[in-house]
Amino acid sequence: MKLPNGVTGFYDSKVNNPPQVDGKQFKRLCFDFASCNSGKVIDFITPQYPSNFYYAHVEIAGNRFYILLNEHYPYLAFASVVEVGNIKFINKPVLYEIFSSFYRVIGTGELHAPLNQHLLKQTELNSAELEQIAYWKPETIGQIIFNYWD
Q: What is the SS3 assignment for the chain?
A: CCCCCCCCCCCCCHHHCCCCCCHHHHHHHHHHHHHHCCCEEEEEECCCCCCCEEEEEEEECCEEEEEEEECCCCEEEEEEEEECCEEEEECCHHHHHHHHCCCEECCHHHHCCECCHHHHHCCCCCHHHHHHHHHHCCCEHHHHHCCCCC
Report, in angstroms and rounded to the nearest whole number, the Rg of the chain calculated over CA atoms.
15
Instruction: Write down the pLDDT at residue 40.
Output: 96
- β partners of residue 69: 54, 76
- pLDDT per residue of the chain (150 residues) written in tens, 0 to 9: 889 999 999 988 777 788 999 999 999 999 999 999 999 999 999 999 999 999 999 999 999 999 999 999 999 999 999 999 899 999 998 888 889 999 999 999 999 999 988 788 888 999 999 999 999 999 999 999 999 998
Q: Tell me what pLDDT residue 13 has.
A: 75
Q: What is the pLDDT of residue 109?
A: 96
- If phi > 0 it is left, if psi is from -120 to 50 it is alpha, else beta; for residue 89 that is beta
Residue 103 has what pLDDT?
A: 97
pLDDT at residue number 4: 94
pTM: 0.95
Tell me, what's the pLDDT at 116? 85
Which pLDDT score, from 0 to 100, does residue 1 have?
Answer: 84
